[in-house]
């Protein structure tokens, strides 16, 4: 397995447009996480899934944000009516739950720039 992949790697969009990012986790991992990282800051938790169920959402995730994991495999994160404050790196991570693996494996991220 090649690890967690994210597409696209970079996205430039105009304010007000909708964008969608995709994350493909490590194949046997049942947990999938989304984080947002702005310049000079550590990643901030947005939401996570166990299989297809979305178990927790941060209050950072406004109504304009929606995440899905329809078949418990890949996940999408959509931002509607983008704002300049949405410019950030969006990170996806995956892990196993209930096992002895403690690590969340992070993807390379999708860098969003809203102009």
Partner 1 sequence: GEDVEQSLFLSVREGDSSVINCTYTDSSSTYLYWYKQEPGAGLQLLTYIFSNMDMKQDQRLTVLLNKKDKHLSLRIADTQTGDSAIYFCAASETSYDKVIFGPGTSLSVIP
Chain mean position to CA 25: 10
Binding site for partner 1 (CB under 8 A): 31, 33, 40-45, 48, 56, 58, 91, 93, 95-98, 101-104, 106-109
Give whichever of 12 and 55 is closer to partner 1, judged by the CB atom. 55
Minimum separation from the CB atom of position 102 to partner 1 (A) = 4
Q: How far is the CB of 108 from partner 1 (least distance, A)?
A: 5
Complete DSSP assignment for 29-67 = --EEEEEEE-TTS--EEEEEEETTEEEEE-TTS-TTEEE
> Smallest distance, Å, CB 53 to partner 1?
14
Nearer to partner 1, 79 or 107 (CB): 107
What does the chain come to in residues?
Answer: 115
> How would you classify residue 64: left for phi > 0, otherwise alpha for psi between -120 and 50, otherwise beta?
alpha
């Amino acid at each position: 397995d090649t690890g967690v992949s994210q597409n696209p790697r970079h996205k430039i969009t105009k304010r007000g447009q909708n964008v969608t990012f995709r994350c493909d986790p490590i194949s046997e991992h049942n947990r999938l996480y989304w984080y947002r990282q702005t310049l000079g800051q550590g990643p901030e938790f947005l939401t996570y899934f166990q299989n297809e169920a979305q178990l927790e959402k941060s209050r950072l995730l406004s109504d304009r944000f929606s995440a899905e994991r329809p078949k418990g495999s890949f996940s999408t994160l959509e931002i509607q009516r983008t704002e300049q404050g949405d410019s950030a790196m969006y990170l996806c991570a995956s892990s196993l739950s209930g096992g002895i693996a403690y690590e969340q494996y992070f993807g390379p991220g999708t860098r969003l720039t809203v102009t």
